[in-house]
C-alpha cells in the first residue's frame, strides 16, 4: 500500500500547537495544585547578613575581595580578553587534537582550572 503523506503546514503545526497547549495545561494544573510560597516582604533599608554570589561566580568574587578594586576589574577584563584571543594568537600548530603536543594550551588550561577551583573554594569558605 502506498503511504499518503500529509503537508507540513496544517498537520504538523496543529500537532505542535496541541502539544504546547497540553504542556501549558499540565503546568497550570501543577501551579494550582502546589503554588509557590511567598517570602517576606523586601525591606530596602536592611541588607541580609551573608550576601554571596552563586558558586560559579565565587572565584571572581574572591579575586575582587583580595586585590584592589581597579586591579581586580582590569585583571578580569584582561583574563576574559586573553581567553578569547588565545586561540588566534598562539594556535599555530597543526596538531589540533593532541593536547600534549600543544603545551601552551594544555598547561595553561590546567593552571586556569586549578586557580579557578582554588578561588572558588576560598570564596566559599571565607
Condensed to tens digits (0 to 9), the pLDDT of residues 74-118 reads 999 998 998 888 777 776 666 666 667 777 777 878 888 998 999
CA–CA dist 53, 64 (Å, integer): 12
Phi, psi for 14 (deg, rounded to 5): -65, -40
Question: What is the pLDDT of the chain when averaged over all its residues?
Answer: 83
pLDDT per position as a tens digit, 16-50: 999 999 999 999 999 999 888 777 777 888 877 77
Cβ-proximal residues to 95 (8 Å cutoff; 6+ apart), any chain: 101, 102
pLDDT reading at 51 higher than 90: no
Short-list 59, 65, 111, 60, CA closest to 86: 111
Amino acid at each position: 500500500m502506498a503511504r499518503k503523506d500529509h503537508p507540513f503546514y496544517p498537520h504538523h503545526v496543529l500537532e505542535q500547537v496541541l502539544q504546547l497547549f497540553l504542556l501549558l495545561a499540565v503546568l497550570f494544573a501543577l501551579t494550582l495544585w502546589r503554588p509557590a510560597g511567598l517570602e517576606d516582604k523586601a525591606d530596602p533599608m536592611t541588607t541580609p547578613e551573608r550576601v554571596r554570589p552563586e558558586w560559579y561566580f565565587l572565584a571572581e568574587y574572591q579575586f575582587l575581595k583580595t586585590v584592589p578594586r581597579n586591579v581586580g576589574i582590569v585583571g578580569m577584563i584582561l583574563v576574559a580578553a586573553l581567553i578569547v584571543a588565545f586561540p588566534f594568537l598562539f594556535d599555530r600548530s597543526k596538531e589540533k587534537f593532541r593536547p600534549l603536543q600543544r603545551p601552551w594550551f594544555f598547561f595553561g588550561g590546567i593552571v586556569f582550572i586549578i586557580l579557578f577551583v582554588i578561588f572558588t573554594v576560598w570564596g566559599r569558605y571565607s
